[in-house]
Structure 1
Amino acid sequence: MSARVHSRRGASALVAVGIATAIAMAGCIVFGVVAAFNPAIPAAVSDLTKTLLQVVGVAFLGACASLLTTQFQNRHAELAAEDELRREARRHTEEALRTLLTEAIDNYHRVKRARRTLRAKTGPVDRGVLDIASYDECMSVLMDVQLELEQWKRFTKSLPAYQQVVVSASRPDGRPSTLADEFATAERFLNEVLDEYAASWRSVRDASTGLPLSRFPVLCAFFDSASFRPGAAIPLSRIQHAVAASLTMTADDIDSAESGRAGR
Protein backbone atom coordinates (compact mmCIF):
# COMPACT_ATOMS: atom_id res chain seq x y z
CA MET A 1 0.00 0.00 0.00
CA SER A 2 1.39 3.41 -0.97
CA ALA A 3 2.34 6.16 1.48
CA ARG A 4 -0.26 8.41 -0.17
CA VAL A 5 -3.06 5.96 0.68
CA HIS A 6 -1.78 5.77 4.25
CA SER A 7 -1.77 9.56 4.39
CA ARG A 8 -5.40 9.80 3.30
CA ARG A 9 -6.45 7.12 5.76
CA GLY A 10 -4.55 8.87 8.55
CA ALA A 11 -6.40 12.12 7.87
CA SER A 12 -9.74 10.27 7.90
CA ALA A 13 -8.82 8.57 11.17
CA LEU A 14 -7.89 11.92 12.71
CA VAL A 15 -11.28 13.37 11.79
CA ALA A 16 -13.07 10.29 13.15
CA VAL A 17 -11.19 10.46 16.45
CA GLY A 18 -11.95 14.18 16.72
CA ILE A 19 -15.66 13.63 16.15
CA ALA A 20 -15.85 10.75 18.61
CA THR A 21 -13.93 12.71 21.24
CA ALA A 22 -16.07 15.79 20.74
CA ILE A 23 -19.22 13.72 21.22
CA ALA A 24 -17.81 12.10 24.37
CA MET A 25 -16.69 15.43 25.80
CA ALA A 26 -20.04 17.03 25.01
CA GLY A 27 -21.82 14.20 26.79
CA CYS A 28 -19.56 14.55 29.82
CA ILE A 29 -20.03 18.32 29.91
CA VAL A 30 -23.83 18.02 29.74
CA PHE A 31 -23.80 15.42 32.44
CA GLY A 32 -21.49 17.60 34.57
CA VAL A 33 -23.73 20.64 34.22
CA VAL A 34 -26.80 18.61 35.16
CA ALA A 35 -24.93 17.15 38.14
CA ALA A 36 -23.83 20.58 39.32
CA PHE A 37 -27.38 21.92 39.46
CA ASN A 38 -29.10 18.77 40.62
CA PRO A 39 -28.62 18.09 44.35
CA ALA A 40 -29.95 14.60 43.86
CA ILE A 41 -26.76 13.60 42.04
CA PRO A 42 -23.95 12.80 44.50
CA ALA A 43 -20.79 14.95 44.49
CA ALA A 44 -18.73 11.81 43.78
CA VAL A 45 -20.50 11.39 40.47
CA SER A 46 -19.75 15.01 39.60
CA ASP A 47 -16.10 14.48 40.45
CA LEU A 48 -16.08 11.33 38.33
CA THR A 49 -17.45 13.33 35.41
CA LYS A 50 -14.64 15.86 35.74
CA THR A 51 -12.13 13.06 35.82
CA LEU A 52 -13.66 11.51 32.72
CA LEU A 53 -13.43 14.86 30.95
CA GLN A 54 -9.73 15.05 31.75
CA VAL A 55 -9.15 11.46 30.62
CA VAL A 56 -11.01 12.04 27.36
CA GLY A 57 -9.06 15.26 26.75
CA VAL A 58 -5.71 13.60 27.36
CA ALA A 59 -6.71 10.64 25.19
CA PHE A 60 -7.75 12.99 22.40
CA LEU A 61 -4.44 14.86 22.54
CA GLY A 62 -2.53 11.57 22.55
CA ALA A 63 -4.49 10.28 19.57
CA CYS A 64 -3.91 13.52 17.69
CA ALA A 65 -0.17 13.38 18.39
CA SER A 66 0.00 9.75 17.26
CA LEU A 67 -1.94 10.39 14.07
CA LEU A 68 0.10 13.50 13.23
CA THR A 69 3.29 11.52 13.72
CA THR A 70 1.95 8.83 11.41
CA GLN A 71 1.01 11.48 8.87
CA PHE A 72 4.53 12.91 8.97
CA GLN A 73 6.11 9.48 8.58
CA ASN A 74 3.81 8.59 5.67
CA ARG A 75 4.56 11.87 3.93
CA HIS A 76 8.29 11.29 4.36
CA ALA A 77 7.91 7.78 2.90
CA GLU A 78 5.90 9.21 0.01
CA LEU A 79 8.60 11.76 -0.80
CA ALA A 80 11.26 9.07 -0.59
CA ALA A 81 9.29 6.85 -3.00
CA GLU A 82 8.88 9.73 -5.46
CA ASP A 83 12.63 10.42 -5.28
CA GLU A 84 13.36 6.77 -5.99
CA LEU A 85 11.08 6.81 -9.03
CA ARG A 86 12.82 9.92 -10.36
CA ARG A 87 16.25 8.38 -9.81
CA GLU A 88 15.18 5.17 -11.53
CA ALA A 89 13.90 7.15 -14.51
CA ARG A 90 17.20 9.02 -14.68
CA ARG A 91 19.14 5.77 -14.54
CA HIS A 92 17.14 4.38 -17.47
CA THR A 93 17.68 7.60 -19.40
CA GLU A 94 21.41 7.53 -18.72
CA GLU A 95 21.64 3.89 -19.82
CA ALA A 96 19.80 4.69 -23.06
CA LEU A 97 22.06 7.66 -23.75
CA ARG A 98 25.21 5.64 -23.10
CA THR A 99 24.04 2.98 -25.55
CA LEU A 100 23.36 5.65 -28.16
CA LEU A 101 26.75 7.27 -27.62
CA THR A 102 28.55 3.95 -28.01
CA GLU A 103 26.63 3.16 -31.20
CA ALA A 104 27.21 6.62 -32.69
CA ILE A 105 30.96 6.40 -32.09
CA ASP A 106 31.11 2.88 -33.51
CA ASN A 107 29.15 3.85 -36.65
CA TYR A 108 31.36 6.87 -37.24
CA HIS A 109 34.52 4.80 -36.97
CA ARG A 110 33.18 2.09 -39.28
CA VAL A 111 32.29 4.62 -41.96
CA LYS A 112 35.68 6.31 -41.72
CA ARG A 113 37.50 2.96 -41.83
CA ALA A 114 35.58 1.78 -44.90
CA ARG A 115 36.13 5.14 -46.63
CA ARG A 116 39.86 5.14 -45.99
CA THR A 117 40.24 1.51 -47.06
CA LEU A 118 38.41 1.98 -50.34
CA ARG A 119 40.20 5.23 -51.11
CA ALA A 120 43.56 3.52 -50.53
CA LYS A 121 42.61 0.63 -52.84
CA THR A 122 41.21 2.75 -55.67
CA GLY A 123 43.86 5.45 -55.72
CA PRO A 124 43.42 9.17 -56.51
CA VAL A 125 40.07 10.30 -57.90
CA ASP A 126 41.49 11.60 -61.18
CA ARG A 127 43.22 8.32 -62.10
CA GLY A 128 41.90 5.75 -59.62
CA VAL A 129 40.32 2.43 -60.64
CA LEU A 130 37.34 0.82 -58.89
CA ASP A 131 37.13 -2.98 -58.84
CA ILE A 132 34.13 -5.00 -57.72
CA ALA A 133 35.80 -6.69 -54.73
CA SER A 134 36.85 -3.43 -53.10
CA TYR A 135 33.52 -1.83 -53.97
CA ASP A 136 31.54 -4.69 -52.41
CA GLU A 137 33.67 -4.69 -49.28
CA CYS A 138 33.15 -0.99 -48.60
CA MET A 139 29.47 -0.89 -49.52
CA SER A 140 28.72 -3.89 -47.30
CA VAL A 141 29.93 -1.87 -44.31
CA LEU A 142 27.98 1.21 -45.38
CA MET A 143 24.80 -0.84 -45.79
CA ASP A 144 25.02 -2.07 -42.21
CA VAL A 145 25.73 1.42 -40.88
CA GLN A 146 22.93 2.97 -42.98
CA LEU A 147 20.40 0.50 -41.56
CA GLU A 148 21.55 1.25 -38.01
CA LEU A 149 21.35 5.00 -38.62
CA GLU A 150 17.83 4.57 -39.97
CA GLN A 151 16.87 2.65 -36.85
CA TRP A 152 18.37 5.25 -34.55
CA LYS A 153 16.60 7.98 -36.49
CA ARG A 154 13.28 6.35 -35.59
CA PHE A 155 14.28 5.74 -31.98
CA THR A 156 15.48 9.29 -31.36
CA LYS A 157 12.35 10.69 -32.96
CA SER A 158 9.90 8.68 -30.85
CA LEU A 159 11.50 7.91 -27.46
CA PRO A 160 11.43 10.60 -24.72
CA ALA A 161 14.92 9.70 -23.47
CA TYR A 162 16.35 10.93 -26.78
CA GLN A 163 13.94 13.76 -27.52
CA GLN A 164 15.26 15.79 -24.59
CA VAL A 165 18.81 15.91 -25.98
CA VAL A 166 19.71 19.34 -27.34
CA VAL A 167 21.97 19.50 -30.40
CA SER A 168 23.95 22.74 -30.76
CA ALA A 169 22.98 23.38 -34.36
CA SER A 170 20.10 24.83 -36.35
CA ARG A 171 18.32 23.49 -39.38
CA PRO A 172 17.99 25.51 -42.63
CA ASP A 173 14.47 26.47 -41.52
CA GLY A 174 15.87 28.01 -38.33
CA ARG A 175 14.54 25.48 -35.83
CA PRO A 176 16.93 23.70 -33.43
CA SER A 177 18.38 20.46 -34.69
CA THR A 178 17.44 17.18 -33.02
CA LEU A 179 19.22 13.85 -32.81
CA ALA A 180 16.74 12.49 -35.37
CA ASP A 181 17.68 15.33 -37.74
CA GLU A 182 21.39 14.55 -37.47
CA PHE A 183 20.85 10.83 -37.96
CA ALA A 184 18.65 11.60 -40.97
CA THR A 185 21.37 13.76 -42.54
CA ALA A 186 24.04 11.06 -42.20
CA GLU A 187 21.68 8.31 -43.30
CA ARG A 188 20.63 10.29 -46.38
CA PHE A 189 24.27 10.86 -47.36
CA LEU A 190 25.07 7.15 -47.14
CA ASN A 191 21.88 6.32 -49.02
CA GLU A 192 23.09 8.37 -51.97
CA VAL A 193 26.36 6.43 -52.05
CA LEU A 194 24.48 3.13 -51.84
CA ASP A 195 22.03 4.16 -54.56
CA GLU A 196 24.94 4.75 -56.92
CA TYR A 197 26.35 1.37 -55.90
CA ALA A 198 23.06 -0.37 -56.71
CA ALA A 199 22.85 1.37 -60.09
CA SER A 200 26.45 0.67 -61.16
CA TRP A 201 27.18 -2.70 -59.55
CA ARG A 202 26.69 -4.77 -62.71
CA SER A 203 28.91 -2.57 -64.84
CA VAL A 204 31.69 -2.70 -62.25
CA ARG A 205 31.32 -6.47 -61.94
CA ASP A 206 31.52 -6.96 -65.70
CA ALA A 207 34.66 -4.84 -66.05
CA SER A 208 37.51 -7.30 -65.63
CA THR A 209 40.08 -4.62 -64.85
CA GLY A 210 37.75 -2.26 -63.05
CA LEU A 211 36.35 1.12 -64.04
CA PRO A 212 37.75 4.63 -63.71
CA LEU A 213 36.82 6.10 -60.34
CA SER A 214 35.91 9.38 -62.02
CA ARG A 215 32.81 7.69 -63.47
CA PHE A 216 31.29 7.51 -59.96
CA PRO A 217 30.55 11.11 -58.88
CA VAL A 218 28.74 10.20 -55.65
CA LEU A 219 31.56 7.90 -54.55
CA CYS A 220 34.05 10.65 -55.39
CA ALA A 221 31.98 13.02 -53.22
CA PHE A 222 32.14 10.40 -50.45
CA PHE A 223 35.94 10.57 -50.66
CA ASP A 224 35.96 14.38 -50.80
CA SER A 225 36.17 15.94 -47.32
CA ALA A 226 34.15 18.94 -48.51
CA SER A 227 31.17 16.60 -49.01
CA PHE A 228 31.92 13.92 -46.43
CA ARG A 229 32.18 16.30 -43.49
CA PRO A 230 28.74 17.94 -43.74
CA GLY A 231 27.17 14.73 -45.02
CA ALA A 232 28.37 12.29 -42.36
CA ALA A 233 31.28 13.41 -40.18
CA ILE A 234 29.71 16.56 -38.72
CA PRO A 235 26.24 15.10 -38.03
CA LEU A 236 27.69 12.04 -36.30
CA SER A 237 30.10 14.24 -34.35
CA ARG A 238 27.23 16.51 -33.24
CA ILE A 239 25.35 13.46 -32.01
CA GLN A 240 28.31 12.34 -29.94
CA HIS A 241 28.86 15.76 -28.36
CA ALA A 242 25.16 16.32 -27.64
CA VAL A 243 24.71 12.91 -26.00
CA ALA A 244 27.92 13.27 -23.99
CA ALA A 245 26.73 16.68 -22.73
CA SER A 246 23.33 15.20 -21.78
CA LEU A 247 25.04 12.40 -19.88
CA THR A 248 26.97 14.96 -17.83
CA MET A 249 23.76 16.83 -17.07
CA THR A 250 21.99 13.61 -16.11
CA ALA A 251 24.75 12.68 -13.69
CA ASP A 252 24.56 16.16 -12.13
CA ASP A 253 20.79 15.82 -11.77
CA ILE A 254 21.18 12.51 -9.97
CA ASP A 255 23.75 13.98 -7.57
CA SER A 256 21.44 16.94 -6.92
CA ALA A 257 18.52 14.65 -6.16
CA GLU A 258 20.62 12.61 -3.74
CA SER A 259 21.77 15.77 -1.94
CA GLY A 260 18.23 17.09 -1.74
CA ARG A 261 16.96 13.94 -0.17
CA ALA A 262 19.78 13.85 2.37
CA GLY A 263 18.91 17.41 3.41
CA ARG A 264 15.31 16.66 4.19
Structure 2
Amino acid sequence: MTGAAGGIGRACALKLDRDSPVRDVLVLADRDGPGLERLAAEMPGRQVLAVPTDVSNPDSVASLFSAIGALPDPLAALVHAAGILSVGSALEVDFQAWRRTLAVNADGVFLVATAAAQMMLQRPLKNRSMVLVGSNAAGVPRSTMPVYAASKAAAAAFMRSLGLDLAPRGIRCNTVCPGSTNTGMQQAFWGADAQSGRQTVLEGDASAFRVGIPLGRMAEPEDIADAVAFLLSEQARHITMQDLYVDGGATLRA
Protein backbone atom coordinates (compact mmCIF):
# COMPACT_ATOMS: atom_id res chain seq x y z
CA MET A 1 0.00 0.00 0.00
CA THR A 2 1.82 3.11 -1.22
CA GLY A 3 0.83 6.63 -0.25
CA ALA A 4 -0.44 5.10 2.99
CA ALA A 5 0.30 7.91 5.43
CA GLY A 6 -2.51 10.27 4.48
CA GLY A 7 -5.72 10.95 2.57
CA ILE A 8 -7.12 8.23 0.33
CA GLY A 9 -4.09 5.98 0.86
CA ARG A 10 -4.61 5.99 4.60
CA ALA A 11 -8.30 5.17 4.22
CA CYS A 12 -7.40 2.28 1.90
CA ALA A 13 -4.87 0.92 4.38
CA LEU A 14 -7.39 1.03 7.24
CA LYS A 15 -10.01 -0.65 5.04
CA LEU A 16 -7.59 -3.45 4.17
CA ASP A 17 -6.70 -3.87 7.83
CA ARG A 18 -10.38 -4.26 8.72
CA ASP A 19 -11.30 -6.59 5.87
CA SER A 20 -8.31 -8.85 5.28
CA PRO A 21 -7.44 -11.93 7.36
CA VAL A 22 -5.37 -11.04 10.39
CA ARG A 23 -2.65 -13.45 9.25
CA ASP A 24 -1.94 -11.27 6.20
CA VAL A 25 1.01 -8.90 6.45
CA LEU A 26 0.17 -5.33 5.46
CA VAL A 27 3.07 -3.39 3.93
CA LEU A 28 2.76 0.40 4.25
CA ALA A 29 4.90 2.71 2.11
CA ASP A 30 5.09 6.51 2.01
CA ARG A 31 7.68 9.29 2.09
CA ASP A 32 6.25 10.27 5.50
CA GLY A 33 7.95 7.83 7.87
CA PRO A 34 6.41 9.21 11.10
CA GLY A 35 2.98 9.13 9.44
CA LEU A 36 3.48 5.46 8.64
CA GLU A 37 4.36 4.73 12.25
CA ARG A 38 1.23 6.50 13.48
CA LEU A 39 -0.88 4.51 11.04
CA ALA A 40 0.73 1.22 12.03
CA ALA A 41 -0.10 1.98 15.65
CA GLU A 42 -3.79 1.99 14.69
CA MET A 43 -3.56 -1.65 13.60
CA PRO A 44 -3.08 -3.67 16.80
CA GLY A 45 -2.91 -7.39 16.28
CA ARG A 46 -1.81 -7.04 12.66
CA GLN A 47 1.72 -7.65 11.40
CA VAL A 48 2.64 -4.41 9.68
CA LEU A 49 5.79 -3.56 7.75
CA ALA A 50 6.25 0.20 7.43
CA VAL A 51 8.81 1.21 4.79
CA PRO A 52 9.56 4.90 4.10
CA THR A 53 9.64 5.09 0.30
CA ASP A 54 10.03 7.65 -2.46
CA VAL A 55 8.19 6.05 -5.37
CA SER A 56 9.98 8.27 -7.90
CA ASN A 57 13.37 6.87 -6.85
CA PRO A 58 14.30 3.48 -8.37
CA ASP A 59 16.63 2.63 -5.48
CA SER A 60 13.97 3.44 -2.90
CA VAL A 61 11.42 1.28 -4.71
CA ALA A 62 13.96 -1.53 -4.98
CA SER A 63 14.51 -1.36 -1.22
CA LEU A 64 10.75 -1.54 -0.64
CA PHE A 65 10.39 -4.69 -2.72
CA SER A 66 13.48 -6.22 -1.20
CA ALA A 67 11.77 -5.88 2.18
CA ILE A 68 8.57 -7.38 0.77
CA GLY A 69 10.51 -10.25 -0.79
CA ALA A 70 11.97 -11.14 2.60
CA LEU A 71 8.50 -11.87 3.97
CA PRO A 72 7.46 -15.54 4.06
CA ASP A 73 4.19 -15.08 2.17
CA PRO A 74 3.83 -14.23 -1.54
CA LEU A 75 2.62 -10.82 -2.70
CA ALA A 76 -1.12 -11.00 -3.40
CA ALA A 77 -2.20 -7.39 -3.87
CA LEU A 78 -0.93 -3.90 -4.57
CA VAL A 79 -2.67 -0.59 -3.98
CA HIS A 80 -0.71 2.33 -5.38
CA ALA A 81 -2.02 5.65 -4.04
CA ALA A 82 1.17 7.70 -3.86
CA GLY A 83 0.95 10.93 -5.82
CA ILE A 84 1.42 14.68 -5.79
CA LEU A 85 -0.66 17.59 -7.06
CA SER A 86 0.56 20.29 -9.43
CA VAL A 87 -1.63 23.28 -10.32
CA GLY A 88 -1.35 26.22 -12.69
CA SER A 89 -2.04 27.17 -16.26
CA ALA A 90 -0.31 25.12 -18.95
CA LEU A 91 1.29 28.36 -20.10
CA GLU A 92 2.78 29.06 -16.67
CA VAL A 93 3.99 25.70 -15.37
CA ASP A 94 7.76 25.36 -15.63
CA PHE A 95 9.58 22.28 -16.85
CA GLN A 96 10.84 21.32 -13.40
CA ALA A 97 7.27 21.16 -12.07
CA TRP A 98 6.33 19.04 -15.08
CA ARG A 99 9.21 16.64 -14.49
CA ARG A 100 8.60 16.35 -10.75
CA THR A 101 4.90 15.62 -11.21
CA LEU A 102 5.53 13.02 -13.90
CA ALA A 103 8.32 11.49 -11.82
CA VAL A 104 5.99 10.77 -8.92
CA ASN A 105 2.65 10.21 -10.65
CA ALA A 106 3.80 8.33 -13.76
CA ASP A 107 7.37 7.09 -13.18
CA GLY A 108 6.30 5.98 -9.71
CA VAL A 109 3.50 3.86 -11.14
CA PHE A 110 5.89 2.26 -13.62
CA LEU A 111 8.48 1.46 -10.95
CA VAL A 112 6.09 0.13 -8.33
CA ALA A 113 3.68 -1.75 -10.58
CA THR A 114 6.36 -3.52 -12.62
CA ALA A 115 8.22 -4.54 -9.47
CA ALA A 116 4.98 -5.86 -7.99
CA ALA A 117 4.18 -7.75 -11.21
CA GLN A 118 7.56 -9.47 -11.26
CA MET A 119 7.13 -10.52 -7.65
CA MET A 120 3.57 -11.78 -8.18
CA LEU A 121 4.69 -13.87 -11.13
CA GLN A 122 7.30 -15.65 -9.02
CA ARG A 123 4.76 -17.18 -6.61
CA PRO A 124 1.29 -17.59 -8.13
CA LEU A 125 -1.86 -17.25 -6.05
CA LYS A 126 -5.53 -17.70 -6.88
CA ASN A 127 -6.44 -14.01 -6.58
CA ARG A 128 -3.81 -11.44 -7.53
CA SER A 129 -4.75 -7.85 -8.19
CA MET A 130 -3.28 -4.38 -8.55
CA VAL A 131 -5.27 -1.18 -8.13
CA LEU A 132 -3.99 2.28 -8.97
CA VAL A 133 -5.61 5.28 -7.33
CA GLY A 134 -5.72 7.74 -10.21
CA SER A 135 -7.97 10.74 -10.80
CA ASN A 136 -10.96 11.72 -12.88
CA ALA A 137 -8.72 14.52 -14.15
CA ALA A 138 -7.16 11.85 -16.38
CA GLY A 139 -10.33 11.79 -18.47
CA VAL A 140 -11.51 15.41 -18.59
CA PRO A 141 -9.68 18.69 -19.30
CA ARG A 142 -8.88 20.79 -16.23
CA SER A 143 -7.96 24.45 -16.73
CA THR A 144 -5.85 24.63 -13.58
CA MET A 145 -4.16 21.22 -13.52
CA PRO A 146 -2.87 20.21 -16.95
CA VAL A 147 0.33 18.64 -15.64
CA TYR A 148 -1.48 16.65 -12.97
CA ALA A 149 -4.08 15.49 -15.50
CA ALA A 150 -1.38 14.44 -17.97
CA SER A 151 0.47 12.45 -15.31
CA LYS A 152 -2.68 10.66 -14.21
CA ALA A 153 -3.69 9.88 -17.80
CA ALA A 154 -0.26 8.39 -18.46
CA ALA A 155 -0.49 6.26 -15.33
CA ALA A 156 -3.96 4.95 -16.17
CA ALA A 157 -2.92 4.09 -19.73
CA PHE A 158 0.10 2.22 -18.43
CA MET A 159 -2.03 0.20 -16.00
CA ARG A 160 -4.40 -0.85 -18.79
CA SER A 161 -1.49 -2.05 -20.92
CA LEU A 162 0.13 -3.80 -17.97
CA GLY A 163 -3.19 -5.48 -17.30
CA LEU A 164 -3.25 -6.78 -20.86
CA ASP A 165 0.24 -8.24 -20.45
CA LEU A 166 -0.65 -9.88 -17.14
CA ALA A 167 -4.17 -11.10 -17.87
CA PRO A 168 -3.00 -14.47 -19.29
CA ARG A 169 -1.15 -15.02 -16.01
CA GLY A 170 -4.26 -14.31 -13.92
CA ILE A 171 -3.19 -10.92 -12.52
CA ARG A 172 -5.76 -8.12 -12.72
CA CYS A 173 -4.90 -4.42 -13.06
CA ASN A 174 -7.47 -1.66 -12.58
CA THR A 175 -7.58 2.04 -11.79
CA VAL A 176 -9.96 3.85 -9.45
CA CYS A 177 -10.43 7.46 -10.56
CA PRO A 178 -11.68 9.64 -7.71
CA GLY A 179 -13.16 13.07 -8.18
CA SER A 180 -13.12 15.75 -5.50
CA THR A 181 -12.55 13.96 -2.21
CA ASN A 182 -12.51 15.43 1.29
CA THR A 183 -8.77 15.26 1.93
CA GLY A 184 -6.10 17.79 2.84
CA MET A 185 -5.15 18.04 -0.83
CA GLN A 186 -8.70 19.04 -1.75
CA GLN A 187 -9.12 21.43 1.16
CA ALA A 188 -5.98 23.31 0.09
CA PHE A 189 -7.97 24.52 -2.93
CA TRP A 190 -10.65 26.16 -0.81
CA GLY A 191 -8.55 28.99 0.62
CA ALA A 192 -9.64 31.04 3.61
CA ASP A 193 -13.37 30.57 2.94
CA ALA A 194 -13.66 26.81 3.16
CA GLN A 195 -17.44 26.80 3.00
CA SER A 196 -17.51 28.81 -0.21
CA GLY A 197 -14.77 26.65 -1.73
CA ARG A 198 -16.62 23.46 -0.89
CA GLN A 199 -19.85 24.83 -2.36
CA THR A 200 -18.07 25.72 -5.61
CA VAL A 201 -16.90 22.14 -5.93
CA LEU A 202 -20.43 20.83 -5.41
CA GLU A 203 -22.17 23.32 -7.71
CA GLY A 204 -19.48 23.75 -10.37
CA ASP A 205 -17.67 26.77 -11.76
CA ALA A 206 -18.73 28.00 -15.18
CA SER A 207 -15.74 30.34 -15.44
CA ALA A 208 -13.44 27.31 -15.20
CA PHE A 209 -15.63 25.17 -17.50
CA ARG A 210 -16.17 22.76 -14.66
CA VAL A 211 -19.42 21.01 -13.78
CA GLY A 212 -20.35 20.27 -10.19
CA ILE A 213 -21.10 16.92 -8.59
CA PRO A 214 -24.51 15.60 -9.69
CA LEU A 215 -24.94 13.50 -6.53
CA GLY A 216 -24.61 16.70 -4.50
CA ARG A 217 -21.99 15.43 -2.07
CA MET A 218 -18.25 15.26 -1.92
CA ALA A 219 -16.59 11.87 -1.61
CA GLU A 220 -15.01 10.86 1.65
CA PRO A 221 -11.73 8.90 1.46
CA GLU A 222 -13.64 5.84 2.64
CA ASP A 223 -15.80 5.95 -0.50
CA ILE A 224 -12.69 5.50 -2.60
CA ALA A 225 -11.32 2.83 -0.28
CA ASP A 226 -14.50 0.79 -0.69
CA ALA A 227 -14.09 0.80 -4.48
CA VAL A 228 -10.43 -0.19 -4.17
CA ALA A 229 -11.26 -3.05 -1.82
CA PHE A 230 -13.91 -4.33 -4.23
CA LEU A 231 -11.48 -4.39 -7.16
CA LEU A 232 -8.95 -6.28 -5.05
CA SER A 233 -11.49 -8.89 -4.00
CA GLU A 234 -12.57 -12.11 -5.68
CA GLN A 235 -15.93 -10.44 -6.30
CA ALA A 236 -14.10 -8.55 -9.06
CA ARG A 237 -12.36 -11.63 -10.41
CA HIS A 238 -13.56 -10.94 -13.98
CA ILE A 239 -12.70 -7.24 -13.99
CA THR A 240 -9.39 -6.03 -15.37
CA MET A 241 -7.99 -3.14 -17.45
CA GLN A 242 -10.82 -0.88 -16.26
CA ASP A 243 -10.96 2.73 -15.05
CA LEU A 244 -13.65 3.03 -12.37
CA TYR A 245 -14.71 6.65 -11.89
CA VAL A 246 -15.82 7.34 -8.32
CA ASP A 247 -16.74 11.01 -8.57
CA GLY A 248 -20.49 11.36 -8.04
CA GLY A 249 -20.99 11.78 -11.78
CA ALA A 250 -18.77 14.88 -12.00
CA THR A 251 -17.17 13.95 -15.31
CA LEU A 252 -20.47 13.06 -17.04
CA ARG A 253 -18.75 10.13 -18.74
CA ALA A 254 -20.67 8.19 -21.37
Which structure has more helix as a fraction of its residues? 1
TM-score, shorter chain, exceeding 0.5: no
Q: TM-score, normalised by structure 1?
A: 0.25
Report which of the two structures shows the higher radius of gyration computed on alpha carbons: 1
Q: TM-score, normalised by structure 2?
A: 0.26
Which structure has more strand as a fraction of its residues? 2
